[in-house]
Amino acid sequence: MPEKINKTQLINKLSRILDTDSLLYKEEDLRPYECDGLSAYRQLPMLVALPKNIEEVQSIVKICHYHNTPVIARGAGTGLSGGALPLETGVLLSLARLNKILAIDQDNLLATVQPGVRNLAISEAVTELGLYYAPDPSSQIACTIGGNVAENSGGVHCLKYGLTVHNISQIKIITIDGELLTIGSHAMDAAGYDLLALFTGSEGMLGIIVEVTVKLLPQPETAQVILASFNDIEVAGRAVSDIIAAGIIPAGLEMMDNPAIRAAEDFVHAGYPTDAAAILLCELDGTIEEVEEQITCVRKVLNNSGVINIRTAENEAERQQFWKGRKAAFPAVGRIAPDYYCMDGTIPRKKLPWVLKSISELSEQYNLAVANVFHAGDGNLHPLILYDANKPGELERTEEFGGKILELCIKAGGSITGEHGIGMEKINQMCIQFSTTELEQFHAVKAAFDPLGLLNPGKAVPTLHRCAEFGAMHVHHGELSHPELERF
């Protein structure tokens, strides 16, 4: 195997295949790439490559593979778990210039796009055909479909319409040895192992996504939203279960607690009751007849579940207004504290009261305020921890608090990430959610695609040594995690 080469040598090699504007290596040019949406983690890459086509991606990957150089793929850099955090010794591969919509197949309800196409741009391109792409992460205006596949992104409509994995049909990837591989098909399944599922959410660890065929859906005839307020968050939680028990799958079912309500109302004046302990936003979509009947049913359920006030948006403008508050919740919280840290865990819904109570206890213990935004329908919590990065030690305290919240989610029978991914952020908590054999299995899967470990190394799946070190710091119930491992 050839020796690892230094930065200058690599620049020389890559500049033979890339245009001058496709290769960045000066510090000031690298700076914008030092972090993704999780800005607490920063690292300058060795260099940034911005290929313009699949062949260039293949050549870059082949060169990096040959010279044993790590490759970190990046879309729009909106990820919230540090999945696109660069490596000092690695090439940051930006797929942003592969941004064309290649084909819209109206008959089969498919759109084939390059990975750098923005999520919302797909829906915008097909809206005149009465179609749309369902997954709608809150960053949809900026985030790219390649990143969505890498993270298995969700959004507010997951309960009814599923995650990215349910809404894509085929991807093309470049393997670490530079081969183009087509995974999935334009039919409803493909022969062999379901690599489409394996790649979705694999955080750039198995291959570089260079093309995505997404499924399109007919736009629902109508959508309607109910805003329900509660003076007790547990009552609101039970109301969510009551709606599901009534046989209704809402298109969206969101909950916000009082600090989140106040922040959002103050910011965008959505018409939220600022004295409520919690609000639920329940969106119903479908045919006009279906939605009418479901609205009646949901109102009835809510009336029997201890609601203090129910409003149904009277028109599209009001519906948008109701949603505006929820969609602006994160920036709204950003206005009431110098910094906030957005967590992302999932729990079985019935554990919501226990988890919220425990979060509030932790909040007191760490002396850090929390606002809770919750995809209540599918049990995905987004506690926002408010802090001030300029106060010495506060970020560290926040991260520790965040880690405790994730551990709560595991205890409740849930997961440390619902839609933001593991990246760098939650890598330690992986040691708690998974056993040694499970982590070894993940490493074996990784090695099947990338034996040298060059694709996004150090992310998503912790090494067993890392877990041993983390376990030494976090002794649970008097038991050391992974006692079979040597300590370093």
Partner 1 sequence: MTDISDTLSQQIKDAHVNKQTLNIQGNGSKKFYGNPCKGRSLHTSAHTGIITYEPTELVITARAGTSLQDINQTLVDQNQILGFEPPDLGNSSLGGTIACNLSGPRRPYAGAARDFLLGCRIINGKGDIMHFGGEVMKNVAGYDVARLMAGAMGTLGVLLDVSLKVLPRPQGEITIHQQLTKQQALSTLTQLRSQPLPITAACFDNTGLYIRLSGNVTAINAAHKDIGGELIPDSEPFWRSIREHKHAFFNNNQPLWRLSLPPAADINLDGESMIDWGGAQRWLFSDREADHIRSNVTDAGGHATLYKNSTTDTEFFNPLDHNMLKVQQQLKKAFDPENILNPGKLYRAL
Residues 278-307 within binding reach of partner 1 (CB under 8 A): 286-290, 292-294
How many residues touch partner 1 under the rule CB under 8 A: the total is 96
Binder among 152, 224, 312, 372 for partner 1 (CB under 8 A): 152
Q: Between residue 255 and residue 274, which ones bind partner 1 under the rule CB under 8 A?
A: none
Binder among 102, 103, 249, 475 for partner 1 (CB under 8 A): 249
Q: Between residue 210 and residue 229, which ones bind partner 1 under the rule CB under 8 A?
A: 218-221
Q: Which residues contact 189 (CB under 8 A, 6 or more apart)?
A: none
Which residue, chain included where needed, has tokens 């298995």? 152
The whole-angstrom separation of Cα 429 and Cα 426 is 5
Between helix 316-327 and helix 329-336 the angle, nearest 10°, is 50
Q: Does 248 bind partner 1 (CB under 8 A)?
A: yes
Write out the DSSP string of 250-283.
-SEEEEEEHHHHHHHHHHH-----TT-SEEEEEE
| Least CB distance to partner 1 at residue 478 (A) | 23
User: Among the candidate windows 32-40, 87-95, 108-116, 304-312, which touches partner 1 by CB under 8 A?
Assistant: 108-116
- Name the residue among 461, 457, 460, 451 with its Cα closest to residue 177: 451
| Least CB distance to partner 1 at residue 364 (A) | 27
| Least CB distance to partner 1 at residue 46 (A) | 27
Q: Does 189 bind partner 1 (CB under 8 A)?
A: yes
Q: Between residue 109 and residue 128, which ones bind partner 1 under the rule CB under 8 A?
A: 109-110
Three-state DSSP at 168 gives: strand
Binder among 188, 314, 477, 479 for partner 1 (CB under 8 A): 188
Q: Between residue 409 and residue 428, which ones bind partner 1 under the rule CB under 8 A?
A: 413-422, 426
| Least CB distance to partner 1 at residue 104 (A) | 12
| Least CB distance to partner 1 at residue 217 (A) | 8
Which residue, chain included where needed, has tokens 């470990």? 453
The whole-angstrom separation of Cα 381 and Cα 405 is 10
Q: Between residue 72 and residue 91, which ones bind partner 1 under the rule CB under 8 A?
A: none
Q: Between residue 340 and residue 359, which ones bind partner 1 under the rule CB under 8 A?
A: 346-350
The whole-angstrom separation of Cα 285 and Cα 289 is 10
Q: Which is nearer to partner 1, 1 or 444 (CB)?
A: 444
Cα–Cα distances in angstroms (integers) from residue 44 to residues 38, 41, 206, in the given order = 14, 10, 23
Binder among 35, 73, 111, 165 for partner 1 (CB under 8 A): 165
- x/- contact string, 17-56, with partner 1 (CB under 8 A)? ----------------------------------------
User: Among the candidate windows 57-65, 140-148, 161-169, 387-395, which touches partner 1 by CB under 8 A?
Assistant: 161-169
Q: Between residue 360 and residue 379, which ones bind partner 1 under the rule CB under 8 A?
A: 375, 377-379
Give the E-state strand segments of 45-100 in sequence order.
47-49, 71-74, 91-94
| Least CB distance to partner 1 at residue 166 (A) | 5
| Least CB distance to partner 1 at residue 403 (A) | 14
Q: Does 198 bind partner 1 (CB under 8 A)?
A: yes
Is the distance from CB of 176 to CB of 452 less than 8 angstroms? Answer: yes
Cα–Cα distances in angstroms (integers) from residue 438 to residues 430, 435, 441, in the given order = 10, 5, 5
The whole-angstrom separation of Cα 462 and Cα 431 is 7
Is the distance from CB of 387 to CB of 368 less than 8 angstroms? Answer: yes
User: Among the candidate windows 42-50, 163-171, 276-284, 356-364, which touches partner 1 by CB under 8 A?
Assistant: 163-171
Q: Which is nearer to partner 1, 10 or 183 (CB)?
A: 183
Binder among 36, 56, 136, 151 for partner 1 (CB under 8 A): 151
- Name the residue among 484, 457, 452 with its Cα closest to residue 468: 484
Q: Does 197 bind partner 1 (CB under 8 A)?
A: yes
Both structure tokens of 426: 């939650």
Q: Between residue 168 and residue 187, which ones bind partner 1 under the rule CB under 8 A?
A: 175, 179, 181-182, 185-187
Binder among 22, 78, 312, 380 for partner 1 (CB under 8 A): 380
The whole-angstrom separation of Cα 400 and Cα 343 is 12
DSSP 479: B
Is the distance from CB of 113 to CB of 100 less than 8 angstroms? Answer: yes
> Exposed, middle or buried, 360 (CB in 10 Å: 0-12/13-18/19+)?
middle
Binder among 106, 274, 365, 367 for partner 1 (CB under 8 A): 106
Which residue, chain included where needed, has tokens 């044993």? 68
- Name the residue among 302, 127, 170 with its Cα closest to residue 225: 302
| Least CB distance to partner 1 at residue 147 (A) | 13
| Least CB distance to partner 1 at residue 178 (A) | 11
Q: Between residue 436 and residue 475, which ones bind partner 1 under the rule CB under 8 A?
A: 437-438, 441-442, 444-449, 460-461
